[in-house]
Every structure is written in C-alpha cells, then in structure tokens.
Amino acid sequence: MDSFLEEDEEAPVVVVRGKRRRSPASQAVLQPPLPLPFLPPQPGKGGALVSSNEHKLNFKKSKETCLSYIQDALLQKQWKRAAEFLTCYVESLEKDYSREHIGPSEMIWRIGTEILWHHSQSSMKEFNCFMEQMKTLGVKRYLKVCLEHVFHLLCNGQIDEAYQNLSLAESWRFGEQTAIQDKEMKLIQAYRGLLDYCSWSKQKKILLEHGEDGFAELTIEQEMHGYFRKAAVNLKEIIKIPGVWDVFVKCYVDLLEFYGDHNEARQVLNEYAYNSKFPANPNAHVYLYHFLKRQGESKKSLISALKILHDIVPSHELMIDFNTMLQKSKKRKKHQLGLEVIFAALDYAGWKENAKAWSCLARQVKQIVISETHLDWIKHEWNSRKDWWPAFHFSHYLAKRNWQGNKSLSYEKALVAGILLGKDCKYFKYVLHQGCKAQLKRFWMLKKFVTRHNPVYLRISGRPDSSVQP
C-alpha cells in the first residue's frame, strides 16, 4: 500500500509540474489552481466531535464527490485535472469498507490507466510501474490487470515484454480459481500461444529467405519446432471452448498445415464452423472454404461449404464467387441456386450499388431469357420481390443517381429492370433515354433486346397474355 501511494504520488506530480521540477518550494505554487471549489473538508480532520458513523458517511460522501469530479474531468479529456483528483481519491483505499461490485482499488486501476494512456506527459515506464502496483492491489483482479497490461504492451509494440508478462501471469497461482479467472487464464495462455506463433512465423520467414544454409537451417528449424509445440498446446486449448477465436484458429491451422497435419486442421475447422455451441460466425465457414480450396477439394464440397454460408449470411461477399461457381456448373439445379443466391444478395442494402453483383444477375437473366427455358425460376424469385424491388432498386431517383455515378451499373440494372418490369419501367426508360442521348451503342442493343423480349415480362409478372410465344 505504501509503495503504491508513493508511486502514485510520483507519477501525476511529475506530470503536472512538467518541465520545471525539483524545486519543492515552488511546487505548491506551480500546481495549477483547481478550477472548482475544493472538496469538502476531509473528515477526520474535522475533530473528535464527529461520531464514527457520521465520519464514515462523510468519508463516503467526499469519496463519491471526488469520484464524480474525476469522472467529469475524464469525460472532458482533462487528464491533468483528473490526475490531481485521483491523488486525493487514493485516500479512499485507506478505509475500504465497500462491498460494491467495483471497489476503490479497481476504480483507481481503471482511472489511472485511462489517465496514463492519454496524459500528454506519461511514459511507458510510468505506465508499467503503475500496472505493477495495481497487480498487487487485488488478488481477484490480478489476471485481468495482467492481461490489460499485456494488451497495452502489445499495442505499443513491446512484444517481448508482453511475452514475459504473460509467462509470469501464467505461473501465478492463488488458491482456487473462479470461473472468470479460469477464463482469463485461458486467454493468457492463448495470447502466449499467439506470440509463440508470431515468433514461429518470424523464424519461418528467415528460413524461407535464407533457405540454403545447412547449419543455420537446422537450429532455426529446431527453434521453430519449439515455438510450434508451445503455440500449438496453448492454442489448441482455447479453441475447444465456445467463442469467437478467429485469430487463434487461423494461427493453429497455419501451424498444422505447415507440418502437414491436414486431418487435424480440417477437424479443427469443421468443429469451429459446425459445432452448434459456437456462435454462427461467418468467418468459420470462410476459413473452412479457403482451407478446402487450398486443399484442392472437389467443387461439390466447396459448393456445400458455401451453401451453408449462404444460408446463414446471404449477404456475404463470397456470394459472388459462389454464384460464378454455380454458373459454371453443368447441373440445372445449380444454375437455379445461383440465381437464388444472386437475387438474395441483391436484397440487401449493402449490395444495392454493387456493379459486379448486378452484372452477374444481368448475365444470368439474359441467358435464361434467351434460352427461354427456365423463365419459371425468374418468376419464382420475382414473385416475392415484385412488390418492393421496383421501389428499392428501380425508382426514377435511383436511375438518375446511378446514371450519374456509374454508367455500367445503370446499364446492368436497366437490363434487369427491362426484363423484369417491361420496357415501360421508369428506370429502364430513363437510362435508355440518357444512353441513347449519349449515343452509346450498347444502349441501342439493350433497347432492341428488351423490346424483343418484352413478352417475357408479361409472363414473369404473371399477367394473362394471349401473345405468349410457345
């Protein structure tokens, strides 16, 4: 406790005084005057008249007031002012009666950390020092503080120090661990595994760069293998627990693939993607898909992997790949699925102006219309969309905006609009008019095409029409 007080006294004071330090007489003068009236007089100094209960109450009250000042300063980014108040707040540690969720020591840790992150004159050394003190303040919070310390070191590029801290924290034992501490310990191990992996990949890089040195290669390989084992053990542990572990899974699979353990890698990825206890993470499916692709798996398994991704996230960016893959397939069923996929993707607001997706749809629709074999597919897709796609995609306003923004997008959209909504559609008419005015040849073609296939529109929209071609 004493050491903490000293330390805390030191850190902000150095900070406050800035460049002019070491002149004790002027210190008091140089301390900037607090912009607010000071705290209520500290209880205890008030004399023996105050009963102990009242004393406690007063103390609590001034503690709260002080805390609200700190909070206020923090929310206004007045780090120096907050630091000054924090030095007062440290007194609250003295009589920590609270049984609250977050006690004063945790508050000091949180506030102090925040201040030291942002204070213009804080240094990494001070931060480390502060963190070391904070670790000793609460047993229950030790691991959490360690983790946060490591995070800060990592973000500041001090990988080695972070690694040391992680090792130290990993070896920490104190009685029985709570569930939260258990989780934190697992995270600490996992991050250590991640850092081991980083070292491993560094060595790998060196190895690949200077591949031919016989002797050096051997030692490096040995070192690498050491890192691999350490990393693999830790990473393997955490990815068994339900959660989002993209980083760790990626690293682990990379390690396994390098050493040729493809079965294990596949198992890990399958588990990560398909275990129902895990959240429906699109990345899990993406990783699996990329793995299968790397492994040169059959189209069928790739398609089935993407089909599942399509089912959970129809708006994923891989849907374009999926669509082209399905288009290339020879089966009709796949073509139909491809149409479904691209229609579903274009339902989403994020795809609204995606020229690639629109060209995929335009191409496929065009194919179908020309062949005139599977108009019912389009009809099927269009049925659930005809009441809102016109307003969502093919309004006059959008026609203008698309034309100004991206001519090829508006070309593709106009084609789709012309087929789905007929040649009288506002979007189609506007774009065609503009295109013809600009004397672009492909718009003439477009006009011809749509006019020729106008009856298709009538069939798709399900209107009774006598002139339907056989």
Which 82-111 positions form the footprint of another protein (CB under 8 A)? 100-102, 106-107, 109-111
| Nearest Cα residue to 178 out of 206, 139, 234 | 139
Amino acid at 396: H
148 makes contact with another protein (CB under 8 A): yes
Take residue 96 and report the two structure tokens written for it.
């920590």
Q: What residues numbered 53-82 form the site for another protein, per CB under 8 A?
A: 65, 67-69, 71-72, 74-81
Distance CA 49, CA 66 (A): 23
Q: Between 242 and 281, how does the x/- string for binding to another protein read (CB under 8 A)?
A: xxxxxxx-x--------------------------xxxxx
120 makes contact with another protein (CB under 8 A): yes
Distance CA 351, CA 356 (A): 9
202 makes contact with another protein (CB under 8 A): yes
Toward another protein, which CB reaches closer, 239 or 446?
239
CB of 65 to another protein, least distance (A): 7
Q: What residues numbered 282-341 form the site for another protein, per CB under 8 A?
A: 282-283, 286, 313, 315-317
138 makes contact with another protein (CB under 8 A): no
The residue assigned the tokens 């009963």 is 51
208 makes contact with another protein (CB under 8 A): no
The only residue of 97, 151, 174, 444 in contact with another protein, by rule CB under 8 A: 151
Run of H or E residues at 246: helix 246-258
CB of 414 to another protein, least distance (A): 17
Toward another protein, which CB reaches closer, 178 or 267?
178
Distances (CA, A) of 131 to 71, 81, 166, 263: 20, 21, 14, 43
Distances (CA, A) of 161 to 228, 230, 251, 347, 465: 20, 18, 21, 49, 77
384 makes contact with another protein (CB under 8 A): yes
Give residues with Cβ within 8 angstroms of 301, minimum separation 6: 292
234 makes contact with another protein (CB under 8 A): no
CB of 257 to another protein, least distance (A): 17
| Nearest Cα residue to 387 out of 319, 439, 461 | 461
35 makes contact with another protein (CB under 8 A): yes
Give residues with Cβ within 8 angstroms of 198, minimum separation 6: 159
154 makes contact with another protein (CB under 8 A): yes
